Amino acid sequence: MQCVIHRRAEFSASHRYWLPELTEAENIQQFGPCIRFPGHGHNYVLFVSIGGNLDKSGMVLNLSEVKQVISREVTTQLDFSYLNEAWPEFQQTLPTTENLARVIWQRLAPYLPLVQVQLFEHPKLWADYQGNDMEAYLTISTHFSAAHRLARPDLSDAENWQIYGKCARPNGHGHNYHLEVTVQGQINPRTGMIVDLAACQKVIDDYVVEPFDHTFLNKDVPYFADVVPTAENIAVYIRQLLQQPISGLGAKLYRVKLIESPNNSCEVYCADPIDRIALPSEAALASL
Residues annotated as catalytic are: 167, 214, 260
Measured between alpha carbons, how far is 158 from 171 in angstroms, rounded to an integer?
15
Size of the chain, expressed as the number of residues it contains: 288
Q: Are 128 and 136 in contact (CB under 8 A)?
A: yes
Side-chain half-sphere CA neighbours of 249 within 13 A = 24
Measured between alpha carbons, how far is 110 from 69 in angstroms, rounded to an integer?
10
The DSSP element (H or E) to which 50 belongs, if any, is strand 40-53
Alpha-carbon distances of 175 from 68, 143, 205, 262, 280, rounded to whole Å:
43, 10, 18, 11, 21
Q: Are 200 and 208 in contact (CB under 8 A)?
A: no
Q: Are 136 and 187 in contact (CB under 8 A)?
A: yes
279 closest CA partner among 112, 122, 119: 119
Alpha-carbon distances of 90 from 9, 36, 38, 39, rounded to whole Å:
21, 17, 16, 14
CA 64 to chain CA mean position, Å: 28
